[in-house]
C-alpha cells in the first residue's frame, strides 16, 4: 500500500462552495476512485490550503491515474472544482495537486 499526500491552494471566495459540494461528492466519482484502487481518501483545509491524503492499493499507479482522468464524470467534476483551486508554487510539470514526500510513518 502506498500513502500519498498532496497539496493545492483554494481561492478564498470559493471555500464555501468547495466545501459544500464535497459534503456529497458524486457517487460515480467515488466509484471511479475506488475502482482505481484509491481508499481512505480525505481532503483537509487549512486556511487557503487543501491537503489530501489517500492510500493506493493497486500495482500500476500510472495506469490507475489515467483511468481516473479518462472517466467522463470525473472530468465533469474537475471542470467544477479546478477553477476553485490554485496550484502551489512547488507544483512540478504535469502536476495539478502537488505530491508531497513522506517523511515519517508509524504503523
In whole angstroms, give the CA distance from residue 68 to residue 32: 6
The residues assigned a catalytic role are: 22
CA angle 70, 87, 57 (to 5 degrees): 45
**C-alpha grid cell, residue 29:** 466519482
Amino acid at each position: 500500500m502506498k500513502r500519498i499526500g498532496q497539496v493545492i491552494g483554494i481561492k478564498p471566495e470559493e471555500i464555501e462552495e468547495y466545501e459544500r459540494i464535497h459534503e456529497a461528492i458524486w457517487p460515480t466519482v467515488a466509484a471511479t476512485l475506488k475502482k482505481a484502487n484509491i481508499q481512505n481518501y480525505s481532503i483537509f483545509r487549512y486556511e487557503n490550503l487543501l491537503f489530501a491524503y489517500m492510500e493506493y492499493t493497486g500495482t500500476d499507479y500510472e495506469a490507475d491515474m489515467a483511468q481516473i482522468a479518462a472517466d467522463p464524470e470525473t472530468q465533469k467534476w474537475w471542470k467544477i472544482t479546478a477553477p476553485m483551486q490554485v496550484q502551489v508554487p512547488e507544483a512540478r510539470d504535469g502536476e495539478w495537486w502537488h505530491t508531497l514526500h513522506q517523511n515519517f510513518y508509524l504503523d
